[in-house]
Amino acid sequence: MYELVVRRFFATLAPSAVWEHLRVVADADGERLKSNGKRLVEEGYHAVYPYFNTSENHVPAVEEGEALALADARIEAKQTQPPRRYGQSRLIETMEDLGVGTKSTRHNTIEKLYDRGYIENDPPRPTTLAKAVVEAAEEYADLVVSEEMTSELEADMTAIADGEKSLDDVTDESREILDRVFDDLASSREEIGEHLRTSLKADKTLGECPDCGETLLVRSSRTGSYFVGCDGYPECRFTLPLPSTGEPLVLDEACEEHGLQEVKMLAGRNTFVHGCPLCAAEEANESEDRVIGVCPDCGEEHDGELAIKQLQTGSRLVGCTRYPDCEYSLPLPRRGDIEVTDTYCDEHDLPELVVYDGEDDDDPWELGCPICNYEEYQERQRKKGLEVLDGIGPKTAEKLEDAGIDDVGDLSEAEPETVADEVAGVSADSVREWQAKAD
Ligand SMILES: [Zn+2]
Ligand SMILES: [Zn+2]
Ligand SMILES: [Zn+2]
Ligand SMILES: [Zn+2]
């Protein structure tokens, strides 16, 4: 940044650059053919400021009226490229230009679109769901999606604040607009529903079922977890598991081996690409459990052993070989090669693990003994500030801290009734809810 500033300053003092342009216009049996050449004669400020393009384009020198020989003729079919997608800052600028939202809400609006699965990736790309909602709204209630309505409302708010319009005028007007919108929406209820249903189904489609040729879809179970199931159910019972974190989003990219669309799990900051679910399942089936020690829960009594396991959902863990009879398990990172070292933990008699993840093989993650690692992780979670819990904002956190509850660990051990008595505006039920989340 400093160099840019310095060079920019030098450039203002440097001489101008001199370019020579040559424009050749040829007549080929009535067709006008053009060619533009440019040459940097004196580089001037370009010598100190290299951030502008100085590429030259040479055209042979020709005299006016000269006859040129035809070397080659080709007919090429080309298509115009779609404009590049807006990045987030450009998007915010555009909202500003259209008068949509305020300085403090625009960024938030974009976050919300990510959270609700209307856009993904960076630069943001609309999902099929987003397109379907906009299409349906445009067709059946175009007022809602018109940016004019939003910006008009914003302008009216400002007018009220400036004393140019009365609150009653604006609310009457808005009420009238909203009445119209709701009439539109209510009368085309069926069509909108049908449109969304069709599009959403397309949004959940992964490709052909390897068992029966019907369509594989992302589905959710009664418990709210997601999996891949066949549209031919109940005749075809083919399923594939999906990771338990986040909400699945079907991507445009498809697996080369199976032709299935890849899946991304949307989970805020923990969002990750799961990839082809069939690949993940096959990988798990092919990988063998690596036994690393004795199970602390059932080893003595039943000879249970701990092993590194790869699950069909793509996640990995250290679990007991007697699963499901023994459910002892420790989490492992989803990615990277796990190496089992010869160094053993004195306390747990388990080998220390090292994870090699991608780029930097010289600097792997020394995870250590999986039990120690998990205990440290839990301790860190306990020490985290109260605001990691959903529903606790900065103000509530401050009030709780005043009552001597400084972190998630304190909150877990607190007596809900006592907290409710001591802290104004906090009910015993909300304390119980937070405690449930903390665990
Ligand atoms: Zn099937
Ligand atoms: Zn695959
Ligand atoms: Zn066990
Ligand atoms: Zn240990």
Are 227 and 219 within 8 A, CB to CB?
A: yes
Q: How far is the CA of 21 from the centre of ligand 3 (A)?
A: 80
Q: How far is the CA of 306 from the centre of ligand 3 (A)?
A: 7
Q: Worst-scoring range by mean pLDDT, 114-128, 295-309, 330-344? A: 114-128
**Residues 346-373 pLDDT 10s:** 999 999 999 987 766 677 888 899 999 9
Q: What is the DSSP string of 53-81?
A: ----B------TT--------------PP
C-alpha pair distances (Å), 296 with each of 133, 281, 341, 382: 52, 28, 20, 23
Q: How far is the CA of 238 from the centre of ligand 2 (A)?
A: 15
Residue 99 to residue 112: CA distance in whole angstroms: 19
Q: How far is the CA of 189 from the centre of ligand 3 (A)?
A: 55
Q: How far is the CA of 120 from the centre of ligand 2 (A)?
A: 22
Which ligand neighbours the alpha carbon of 280 most closely? 2
Asked if pLDDT for residue 117 goes beyond 90, the answer is no
7 compared with 182, residue with greater pLDDT:
7
Query: In which band, very low, low, confident or very high, does the pLDDT at 204 lie, cut at 50, 70 and 90?
Result: confident
Q: How far is the CA of 229 from the centre of ligand 1 (A)?
A: 8
Q: How far is the CA of 389 from the centre of ligand 4 (A)?
A: 29
Q: How far is the CA of 368 from the centre of ligand 4 (A)?
A: 8
Q: How far is the CA of 297 from the centre of ligand 3 (A)?
A: 5
Tell me, what's the pLDDT at 359?
Answer: 67
**Residues 9-45 pLDDT 10s:** 999 999 999 999 988 999 988 888 888 899 999 999 9
| Segment (H or E) for 206 | strand 205-208
Asked if pLDDT for residue 439 goes beyond 70, the answer is no
Query: Would you state the structure tokens that stand for residue 26, as one six-digit string?
Result: 């040829």
Which ligand neighbours the alpha carbon of 373 most closely? 4
Q: How far is the CA of 343 from the centre of ligand 4 (A)?
A: 11
Highest mean pLDDT among 38-52, 263-277, 349-363, 407-421: 38-52
Asked if pLDDT for residue 122 goes beyond 90, the answer is no
Q: Which residues partner with 33 through β-bridges?
A: 26
What integer is the mean pLDDT of 395-417? 85
Query: Would you state the structure tokens that stand for residue 382, as one six-digit string?
Result: 């306990």
Tell me, what's the pLDDT at 384?
Answer: 74
Which ligand neighbours the alpha carbon of 325 most closely? 3
Tell me, what's the pLDDT at 360?
Answer: 63
Cis (ω within 30 of 0) for the bond into 50?
no
Tell me, what's the pLDDT at 424?
Answer: 83
Query: In which band, very low, low, confident or very high, does the pLDDT at 396 lie, cut at 50, 70 and 90?
Result: confident
Q: How far is the CA of 294 from the centre of ligand 3 (A)?
A: 8
Residue 189 to residue 140: CA distance in whole angstroms: 9
- How far is Cα of residue 273 from the mean position of the Cα atoms in its chain? 9
**Residues 133-151 pLDDT 10s:** 888 888 887 777 777 777 7
Are 140 and 185 within 8 A, CB to CB?
A: yes
Instruction: Specify the amino acid at residue 116.
Output: R
Tell me, what's the pLDDT at 2?
Answer: 94
| Segment (H or E) for 290 | strand 290-294
Are 221 and 173 within 8 A, CB to CB?
A: no
Are 328 and 320 within 8 A, CB to CB?
A: yes
Q: How far is the CA of 309 from the centre of ligand 4 (A)?
A: 19
Q: How far is the CA of 227 from the centre of ligand 2 (A)?
A: 15
Q: Which residues partner with 120 through β-bridges?
A: 125
Which ligand neighbours the alpha carbon of 237 most closely? 1
Helices and strands in the chain: count of H runs, count of E runs:
15, 18
What integer is the mean pLDDT of 44-69? 88
What integer is the mean pLDDT of 299-328? 90
What integer is the mean pLDDT of 267-280? 87
Q: Which residues partner with 176 through β-bridges?
A: none
What integer is the mean pLDDT of 298-306? 90
Query: In which band, very low, low, confident or very high, does the pLDDT at 71 lie, cut at 50, 70 and 90?
Result: confident
Tell me, what's the pLDDT at 209?
Answer: 93
What integer is the mean pLDDT of 41-66? 89
Q: Which of 90, 114, 43, 66 is nearest to 269 (CA)?
A: 114
Residue 8 to residue 50: CA distance in whole angstroms: 10
Highest mean pLDDT among 162-176, 358-372, 396-410: 162-176
Average pLDDT of the chain is 87
404 compared with 257, residue with greater pLDDT:
257
**Which residues are near ligand 3, the ion (C-beta closer than 5 Å)?**
295, 297-298, 304, 320, 326, 328
Q: How far is the CA of 226 from the centre of ligand 1 (A)?
A: 17
Which ligand neighbours the alpha carbon of 294 most closely? 3
How much of the chain exceeds pLDDT 90, in percent?
Answer: 29
Q: How far is the CA of 63 from the centre of ligand 2 (A)?
A: 62
Q: How far is the CA of 277 from the centre of ligand 1 (A)?
A: 15
What integer is the mean pLDDT of 232-260? 90
What integer is the mean pLDDT of 417-439? 84
Q: What is the DSSP string of 156-205?
A: HHHHHHTTSS-HHHHHHHHHHHHHHHHHHHHHTHHHHHHHHHHHHHHHTE
What integer is the mean pLDDT of 170-186? 86
Asked if pLDDT for residue 80 goes beyond 80, the answer is yes
266 compared with 261, residue with greater pLDDT:
261
